[in-house]
Amino acid sequence: MNKIKTIVRKEWAEVFKNRMVIFTVAFLPILMTVIPLGIIYGTHGTAGTKAGNSTSNELPPEMAQSMCPGELSSLDCLQVFMVSEFMMLFMLVPIAIPVTIAAYSIVGEKTTRSLEPLLATPVTTTELLIGKCLAAVIPAVLATYTAFGVFALGSWIIVANKILLTALLAPRWLIAIFLVGPLLAVMAVTFALMISSRVNDPRVAEQVSMVVILPVLVGFFGQVAGLFVLNTQIITIVALVMLVLDVLLLYLTTRVFQREQILTRWK
């Protein structure tokens, strides 16, 4: 456990000395908080018709029924829909931030030649990978939670309509942020670590690792296209699938991390 702590502190000390990394970590959550708040602020307080009437002309009926309680106006409902879409994009935060950190984590040590002395210590592969994983996941989860907290607070300040506020902070989004978010971060990090241990160039590691944003984009575009509506049930299923996937990826990452190959293949 102490070695894991040492690895985490080492990673953070290194990563957060780099201003560009701090910028990367901070930029996306800020963007993903400011834009939906801007939408709410720009459209709040506008009177509209009941959802049961004209909303159905603007949103697919299933979507309107799932997202908007009957008391909401069509405009409020549209607002909920737009923010919901942004909330899907918000799920990029726990993926994009740790990928930036994790993708560099091993290949970076290869290029600076600091990996071999590290591997020569009594640290086990599991300790090393858990340390590197936590070092990337924790900032991402904290950034996600903080950004969501700011969004919730901002929504509370801006929106007078309690029903709208309840819809915006629906359980499905709370599950998504507080449960799926960390699980997504672990998935992104384990995948990035796997890539990072198999390539020789940090740029390749980062580019390939960004593939993990695809599931979120599928969710975003699927919902935009009206193929499905992410409700509490689907989000819970997603969380369970992610949990299984994370365990599998953690196992695979430790299997893929072959000290010998890592030391002898890169030049």
Partner 1 sequence: MIHTENLTKKFGELMAVESLSLDVAEGEVFGFLGPNGAGKTTTVRMLTSLIGPAAGMATVAGFTIGQQDTEIRRTVGVLTETPGMYDNLSAEYNLRIFAELYEVKDVKGQIEKYLKMLGLYERRLDAAGTFSKGMKQKLAIARALLHEPRVLFLDEPTAGLDPEAAHLVREFIAELKKEGRTIFLCTHNLDEADHLCDRIGVFKSHLLVVDTPANLRASVFGRKVVFHLRLADEKIASAIRSLEFARDVRIMENRVVVSLDNPEIQNPEVVRVLVNAGADIQFVGELRHSLEDVYLQLVKGV
Interface residues with partner 1 (CB under 8 A)? 2-3, 6, 9-10, 13-14, 17-18, 109, 112-124, 259-260, 263-264
Q: Closest CB to partner 1 among 112 and 233?
A: 112
Q: Closest CB to partner 1 among 15 and 80?
A: 15
Q: Closest CB to partner 1 among 5 and 203?
A: 5
Least CB distance to partner 1 at residue 109 (A): 7
Q: Closest CB to partner 1 among 14 and 76?
A: 14
Closest CA to 139 of 2, 6, 8, 3: 8
Q: Closest CB to partner 1 among 233 and 264?
A: 264
Least CB distance to partner 1 at residue 101 (A): 14
Least CB distance to partner 1 at residue 139 (A): 17
Question: What Cα–Cα distance (Å) separates residue 175 from each residue in 43, 124, 142, 237?
Answer: 26, 34, 15, 11
Q: Closest CB to partner 1 among 3 and 50?
A: 3
Least CB distance to partner 1 at residue 38 (A): 36
Residues 133-169: b if buried by 16+ CB within 10 A, e if exposed = bbbbbbbbbebbbebbeebbebbeebbebebbbebbb
Least CB distance to partner 1 at residue 23 (A): 16
Alpha-carbon gap, residue 162 to 46, rounded angstroms: 14
Q: Closest CB to partner 1 among 162 and 255?
A: 255
Least CB distance to partner 1 at residue 258 (A): 10
Least CB distance to partner 1 at residue 261 (A): 9
